[in-house]
Structure 1
Amino acid sequence: MEPGFDICWVDLPKKALVDAQISAEYVAQAVLSLAKRSTTGKVSIIGHSQGAGFNPQWALTFFPSIRSYVAAYVALAPDFHGTLDSTFCKFLPTSICPQSIWQQAAGSHYIRAQNIDGYRALVPTTVIYTSTDEVVTPEVGLTYSSRLDGATIIGVQDLDICGPAKMLGHASMLIDPAPFALAYNALINGGNAIRSDFALTSCVSYPVPPSVDFGATVNLIESAYKDLASGFFPAETVSSAEPPLRKYVCDRYPDQGFSCA
């Protein structure tokens, strides 16, 4: 594929189950570190789920100095406005929900804080989402979770993309050819995908080098879902309530009624 990109990834602490503010701080540091090693002095960010809607956007919001080092931001199935699925934490036994799951509940303190200034694209941003997402909900209607003002927003089921018959779940966004093609187009167009470039053939296939092993990705996803389904989470990741916000949040927004530590 031309042009190509050097790829790095950030291993977030405890698989991003701990306080999402910590994960976001890892992202901010990674941007600064990797930009220094980039031939352009900038990096592009691609994230999925919490790694799209929470960690990068929080980093860009509360650490604005990194924005000049980000050439593009591609968010796959992001939950910028949380998910109704995370409200189940309120009905589970005490201390069984991971901290970041509490934070992803629609209306959480984390989401409120992020969306005061981070409700909009802070760098060139493309959002790619699926209306049949079973994890990030809702993804239909005017208040769909992946909305972000000023971003290029593309639904896989949009009429000019793959259409409403395309069934695509949350995890499948990582391995389906349609979001792959849209994300690549965003990267080569300064962070904003061009809808008219999309080929309908990408709804079913996309030419990739033989070295790309989508099967390995499938295995990783299956492993992650088995961990979630088992209900086992490391003790240091769970809590009985949403973690307090960082002090820098209250310093920036002293009149919002946030509780910080």
Structure 2
Amino acid sequence: MSRRPVRPAPRSRLTTWLATVGAATALALGLAGTSAAAADGPNPPVWPTTSGPAAVIGGLVHPDASPPGANDWQCKPTAAHPRPVVLLHATWTNAYTNWAGLSPLLKRDGYCVFAPNYGGQPGVPFKGTQHIPDSAREIARYVDRVLKATGARQVDLVGHSQGGGLMPRWYLRFEGGTDPAKPARNKVRRLIGLAPSNHGAGASGLGDLSTALGLNPTMSLVMGQAYADQMPGSRVNTTLDRDGDTQPGVDYTTIVTRLDEVVTPYPNQFLKAGPGARVRNILLQEICPQDLSEHLSIAYDSNALQLVFNALDPAHAEPVNCRLSLPLLGG
């Protein structure tokens, strides 16, 4: 079965977007009557959400829902896909909003998929706002639970923004995700970051300005401590960068758009391989020049998602069939 992300039957982009929004709204309203605890189990099978705005609606209506295909705690990995995939959402979002597109595609392809809501309170749609080391400890407990439930030895992490950058890197280095002395004991094999906030998010000058003016603590009172943690020169950034970008035994992939308006300048997202690690830095526009995705829509960009599949299973990588992907909407 092809692993290339699929799109709906051809019709106008506006018609497709409106239909997607309507369907996602109906799904979200149906979920709204369930309890937050129900989000820990699998959702009924649904079609992939191909539009970021549609997923935002679902995530706002029921912020603790699992994305389709995720969090089936009875799932057992196969020989073809022996490592569960843990999806880590971005700052100020949640698992459903971020992964309603990718999660069902992974599940359809035979992966065990898990997508926690972290760094926020139940019932609040804007998660991933807490101090990054605290969120990393939360993910450490979650990964341990996934390994115990599935019987797997390792997981692969796929994250967006904070979820693909500083937070999982903190987990790998300081919260038990890796064992530098014996990398074979690592709990994580791959880290794949979509627009990862690896070396400071200048936010098209806003973050640089708030840092220069000493306003990050004030901004974090409103936006959460994760805001200050991801700013250039933050204590979290300098602590992580002090001993290099990577951990032995982990394969890293960054998938970056030149049009990113949040993690700027965009080369801040790239990593440099240290001893015993492998890094592949991918600039989307070098593969698909017409790709117009920016920071928000990259998680709903079929070109970027094919690169995620290729990074998860390099032995069966497929060419990227470049499609037009638009800001905010993806494609």
Normalised-by-shorter TM-score class: 0.5 to 0.7
Residues in 2 aligned to 1:77 and 1:157: alpha-carbon distance in whole angstroms: 13
Shift of 1:26: 1.3
Runs of 4+ in 1 over 6 A off after TM superposition: none
1:173 to 298, 315, 318: 298
The structure-2 alpha-carbon separation of the partners of 1:155 and 1:54, relative to structure 1 and needing over 3 Å to count, comes to: same
Preserved CA contact (<8 Å) 2:177 2:188: no
1:198 counterpart = 2:316: no
After superposition, the C-alpha distances for 1:127-185 in whole angstroms (9 at most, x for unaligned) are 1010110111001xxxx111111211111011xx102x421110111101011000011
> Match for residue 10 of structure 1?
116
The structure-2 alpha-carbon separation of the partners of 1:133 and 1:65, relative to structure 1 and needing over 3 Å to count, comes to: closer
1:26 counterpart = 2:144: no
Residues in 2 aligned to 1:87 and 1:97: alpha-carbon distance in whole angstroms: 16
1:182 counterpart = 2:307: yes
Q: Which segment is superposed worse, 67-76 or 165-174?
A: 67-76
Preserved CA contact (<8 Å) 1:57 1:118: no
Shift of 1:36: 2.0
Say which SS state the counterpart of residue 157 (structure 1) adopts: helix
Preserved CA contact (<8 Å) 2:140 2:176: no
Q: Which segment is superposed worse, 86-95 or 58-67?
A: 86-95
Higher relative contact order (CA 8 A, sep 6+): 1
Identity, % of aligned positions: 29
Letter paired with 2:113: I
Residues in 2 aligned to 1:39 and 1:18: alpha-carbon distance in whole angstroms: 30
2:283 to 149, 155, 162: 155
Say which SS state the counterpart of residue 245 (structure 2) adopts: coil
Shift of 1:25: 1.1
Shift of 1:118: 4.5
> Match for residue 262 of structure 2?
135
Shift of 1:39: 4.5
The structure-2 alpha-carbon separation of the partners of 1:5 and 1:77, relative to structure 1 and needing over 3 Å to count, comes to: same
1:104 counterpart = 2:225: no
After superposition, the C-alpha distances for 1:16-51 in whole angstroms (9 at most, x for unaligned) are 111111111112222222122234322111100011
1:87 counterpart = 2:208: yes
Say which SS state the counterpart of residue 192 (structure 2) adopts: strand
Letter paired with 2:259: T
Preserved CA contact (<8 Å) 2:172 2:247: no
Preserved CA contact (<8 Å) 2:140 2:177: no
TM-score computed with the length of structure 2 as normaliser: 0.54
Shift of 1:88: 4.3
Structure 1 residue ranges without an equivalent (≥5): 206-216, 222-261
After superposition, the C-alpha distances for 1:38-81 in whole angstroms (9 at most, x for unaligned) are 34322111100011111111100113454612122111100110
Preserved CA contact (<8 Å) 1:58 1:118: no
Structure 2 residue ranges without an equivalent (≥5): 4-108, 121-126, 180-185, 274-278
Residues in 2 aligned to 1:65 and 1:24: alpha-carbon distance in whole angstroms: 10
Preserved CA contact (<8 Å) 1:121 1:148: no
TM-score computed with the length of structure 1 as normaliser: 0.67
Say which SS state the counterpart of residue 242 (structure 2) adopts: helix
Shift of 1:103: 1.1
The structure-2 alpha-carbon separation of the partners of 1:37 and 1:113, relative to structure 1 and needing over 3 Å to count, comes to: same
